[in-house]
Structure 1
Amino acid sequence: MTEEDMTSGHAEIEFAFLRGTVYLFVFMLSLYLFINSTENSDIYAHTRLIEQLDKGNLVAPHFLYHLTVYGISKISHISFFYISCLVLASCIVLTMVLIERILCISFKETYSNVFLLFISFALMFVSAVYFPLINKYPYVGIWSPNPWHNPTFIAARPFVLLSFYWYSLEMIKKKYFDKWFSIIRISILLVICALTKPNFVLAFIPASMVFCLFFADRKKTMLFKTGLLILPVLGVLLFQFLFTYYYNTNIDSSIRFCFFDVWHVYAQSVPIAILQEAAFPIFLSAVMFSLLWKEKLLIFSWILFIIGLLIFGLLCESGHRKNNGNFGWTHMFCLNILFIYSTIAFLRWVADVQDKNRLFQMKLFLCVSVFLLHFFSGIYYVRYLISGHSL
């Protein structure tokens, strides 16, 4: 074995140790946050739904998370609440693993593994830019790509990320679903997403169609095969709609059109809130506007974000559920995807620029500064929750 091989081996061991330490930290921090969450955290509400499941009552049509916790709890004889916390902390780590993997595949020859690990870490914590002078809370009203209090959002996120990535991979590699396996695996993932929390697929279905229609190379093929892979999840959504608004006699509610009514309840200015939550993607897209059309996945992410924004703004539930803002989860799923793929576009832009002149350096400094504002706002948001404050 040469000295170079030994040095390389030591570097791999050191990185594996660092990686394990970072993931352990994220897991333990998440677990601590969930276990010590306040009563207004959705973890308690969903624990009560699992207790209803234990009595033989199917209360929610998106039952996969509840069923998973119920099954593990029965096998392990650990309470529903503590199993919920363990499952959610594991989902947080799994999401970070997927983000890191996507970054490593995208930049395996460009950036170091250590750098990409810490970018993945940062993406798990970014949140809306918080200004104490105008925002009463670090989350309510300005929302976040990484909400920490909703278990079904957290549980669905790995499947959301993987389904979006696998779908986009068909376009990047110009495969166009040439194998049935590709259609089947994405279709299964979308069904899992819907059965865990259906909000993402509400935006993904129209967004994928819009993208295929205007930006895909083989439009007819992509539209047809996208239609095939979304058929099963459309059936799931129909079941969930009928269960929630027709067959469930405990809920006196329906879906109504509105104009950002729910958001206005929690924010003084919706446009300012949008700027705060998506400052980095907006600023980055403005800075690299001339190159934007080359970044098809960023365009797809923007289409997804805009549709998610419109769903949250223009749809609401009537009755006592109106101000729950349940369509807001669609918006936050899409915001999360937008942040990840904006970061990928940013890293590619930095790597590809040949003339790193003063103008480029100024743009780079401003982009990094805005990203760090999101990151430190997210750290404050987590600290705020750990301190026992309400949302």
Structure 2
Amino acid sequence: MGPGSPSVWHNVTLLTVKPLALMSVFYTIRFFAFTQYRYFFWAAAITLLSIFAKPSYIIIFLPALVVYMLFKKYFDKRQLWFASTIILFSLAALVYQYTHEFGKGKDSSIIFDFLGVWSIYTPSVTVSVLMALGLPFLITLFNYQSVKKNEYIKFSWLLVLFAFILFACFAEGGERYSDGNFSWSWHLSLSFIYLFTIIEFFKQYFLMPAVVRYSLLAIMLYQVYVGWYFLVEMINGVAFNSSYDSFPFFFG
């Protein structure tokens, strides 16, 4: 859990919300690009539906949406109506879920706890974040001119920012403290930033200097190898939440 992963597979509700969240990002960006009512409907409907699969997406989507609209100066009537609809219905659903989930007993609560849970799973949160975001950051950096025109990547970076703040600052009190349930937003945001930056990488592949594209490709392939390494280890009986003290350079 320390670095986080864009490909968490063991949580059913996360797997359920992920395609809804992806479609939400897609239709939201399409709506702001074309302001057509069909995109309004699909973006709003799918975004609101995602709350009932898992609220981890909506709690980073809402602040990302507000900041995105402020930066882009999206203030016309239809855009404001879109944002207002999603925000009001989402807040109502979140309040309902909060009162039913955290009102059951005194041991259920949300607490401010800066890096408390995150530090359980990694000796260095800074290193873990750099490991998690290294590839998408480098792709963004070396393709900055094209990324500036890619609204999906820009919105995904906002999701990453608010997911980081959420996981770094909040936790569940009581017996579920160490479960790290505020980390799910972080995992989700990594899925989006990896997906959209990797797509951009291959779109710009032959436009990058050879040393840059081959270096980024090597990092990408190594991450694929690490994923397969842990998959094989889990098939051999290692728990999905096990940790390793060294990088898996080869099977042994």
TM-score, normalising length: structure 2: 0.88
Deviations 1:87-119 (A, max 9, x none): xxxxxxxxxxxxxxxxxxxxxxxxxxxxxxxxx
Which of residues 158, 174, 179 is equivalent to 2:19?
158
Correspondence 1:102-121 to 2 at 5 A: none
Q: Which consecutive residues of structure 2, in runs of 5 or more, have no partner in the other structure?
A: 242-252
Instruction: Please tell me the residue identity of whatever aligns with 1:193.
Output: S
1:302-360: CA deviation from partner (whole Å, max 9, x where unpaired):
11111111111011111212111100001111110111111122122236x3xx6xxx1
Q: Please tell me the root mean square deviation across aligned C-alpha atoms, in Å.
A: 1.8
Determine which of 162, 174, 181 is the counterpart of 1:326.
181
4+ runs deviating over 4 angstroms: none
- Structure 1 match to 2:89: 232
Q: In the alignment, which residue of structure 2 is the partner of 1:213? A: 70
What is the aligned partner in structure 2 of residue 382 from structure 1?
231
Equivalent-residue separation in structure 2 for 1:378 and 1:161 (angstroms) = 22
Opposite residue 56 of structure 2, the aligned amino acid is N
Query: Residues 207 and 300 of structure 1 are in contact (CA less than 8 Å); yes or no, is this contact kept in structure 2?
Result: yes
Q: Which residue does the alignment assign to 2:120?
A: 265
| Identity value in percent | 24
User: What is the CA distance between 1:290 and its match in structure 2?
Assistant: 4.3
> What is the CA-CA distance between 1:241 and the residue it aligns to?
0.5
Give, in angstroms, the shift of residue 386 of structure 1. Answer: 1.8
The structure having more radius of gyration, on CA atoms, is 1
Match of 1:298 in 2: 153
In structure 1, the residue matched to 2:249 is: none
| Distance in structure 1 (CA, Å) of the matches to 2:24 and 2:134 | 25
Equivalent runs, 1:66-81 vs 2, <5 Å: none
Sort the Cα spacing of 1:215 and 1:347 in 2 relative to 1 into closer, same or farther, 3 A.
farther
Superposed displacement of residue 198, structure 1: 0.8
Check 1:384–1:192 CA distance in 2 against 1; reply closer, same or farther (3 A cut).
farther
Give the aligned partner of residue 336 of structure 1: 191
1:188 paired to 2:49:
no
TM superposition shift of 1:233 = 2.4
2-side partners of 1:191 and 1:385: how far apart?
35
Q: Do structure 1's residue 252 and structure 2's residue 113 form an aligned pair?
A: no
CA distance in 2, matches of 1:307, 1:348: 27
Q: How many residues align?
A: 239
Are the equivalent residues in 2 in contact too, given 1:160–1:193 (CA < 8 A)? yes
Listed one character per residue, the Cα deviations across residues 267-300 of structure 1 (whole Å, up to 9, x for unaligned) are 0001111111222101112222344322222111
Which residue does 2:162 correspond to in 1? 307
CA deviation digits over 1:204-226, x for unaligned, max 9? 1110111111035x334434422
TM-score (norm 1): 0.58
Unmatched runs of 5 consecutive residues or more in structure 1:
1-139
